[in-house]
Protein backbone atom coordinates (compact mmCIF):
# COMPACT_ATOMS: atom_id res chain seq x y z
CA UNK A 1 0.00 0.00 0.00
CA UNK A 2 1.33 3.44 -0.83
CA UNK A 3 2.04 5.99 1.87
CA UNK A 4 -0.75 8.32 0.67
CA UNK A 5 -3.27 5.45 0.66
CA UNK A 6 -2.35 4.39 4.19
CA UNK A 7 -2.43 8.01 5.38
CA UNK A 8 -5.89 8.55 3.88
CA UNK A 9 -7.20 5.27 5.29
CA UNK A 10 -6.15 6.17 8.84
CA UNK A 11 -7.30 9.77 8.44
CA UNK A 12 -10.72 8.69 7.18
CA UNK A 13 -11.10 6.18 10.01
CA UNK A 14 -10.43 8.73 12.73
CA UNK A 15 -12.26 11.64 11.10
CA UNK A 16 -15.38 9.50 10.78
CA UNK A 17 -14.99 7.57 14.02
CA UNK A 18 -18.23 8.88 15.57
CA UNK A 19 -20.17 7.55 12.57
CA UNK A 20 -18.44 4.19 12.83
CA UNK A 21 -19.11 4.04 16.57
CA UNK A 22 -22.77 4.77 15.94
CA UNK A 23 -22.93 2.02 13.32
CA UNK A 24 -21.23 -0.70 15.37
CA UNK A 25 -20.83 -1.02 19.15
CA UNK A 26 -17.38 -2.63 18.88
CA UNK A 27 -16.04 0.62 17.44
CA UNK A 28 -16.59 2.30 20.80
CA UNK A 29 -13.28 0.75 21.85
CA UNK A 30 -11.39 2.65 19.12
CA UNK A 31 -9.58 5.78 20.27
CA UNK A 32 -6.91 7.81 18.48
CA UNK A 33 -5.14 8.45 21.78
CA UNK A 34 -4.88 4.71 22.39
CA UNK A 35 -4.15 3.77 18.78
CA UNK A 36 -0.38 3.71 19.10
CA UNK A 37 -0.04 2.29 22.61
CA UNK A 38 1.21 -1.25 23.18
CA UNK A 39 1.32 -2.16 19.50
CA UNK A 40 4.04 -4.75 18.89
CA UNK A 41 4.36 -3.99 15.17
CA UNK A 42 5.77 -1.10 13.19
CA UNK A 43 3.21 1.28 11.73
CA UNK A 44 3.01 1.94 8.02
CA UNK A 45 4.87 5.19 7.17
CA UNK A 46 1.62 6.73 5.92
CA UNK A 47 -0.07 6.01 9.27
CA UNK A 48 2.96 7.42 11.10
CA UNK A 49 2.57 10.64 9.11
CA UNK A 50 -1.06 10.98 10.18
CA UNK A 51 -0.38 10.17 13.84
CA UNK A 52 2.54 12.62 13.85
CA UNK A 53 0.36 15.39 12.39
CA UNK A 54 -2.20 14.75 15.11
CA UNK A 55 0.46 14.89 17.83
CA UNK A 56 -0.18 11.28 18.82
CA UNK A 57 3.42 10.22 18.25
CA UNK A 58 6.63 12.17 17.97
CA UNK A 59 8.43 12.73 14.70
CA UNK A 60 9.94 9.33 13.91
Q: Do residues 35 and 51 touch, judged by C-beta distance below 8 A?
A: yes
Q: Looking at residues 36-60, what average pLDDT do you find?
A: 88
pLDDT of residue 48: 95
Q: Is pLDDT at 53 greater than 60 in this prediction? A: yes
- Looking at the chain, the number of H-run helices and the number of E-run strands are 3, 0
User: Which is higher by pLDDT, 45 or 38?
Assistant: 45
The pLDDT of residue 20 is 94
Q: What is the mean pLDDT of the chain?
A: 91
- Please give the full DSSP string across 23-35, using - where no structure is assigned: H-GGGGG--TTTT
* 25-42 tens-digit pLDDT: 999 888 888 888 888 899
Q: Is a pLDDT exceeding 70 seen at residue 59?
A: no
Amino acid sequence: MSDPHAYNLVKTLYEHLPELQHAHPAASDISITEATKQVPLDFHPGAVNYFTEQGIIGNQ
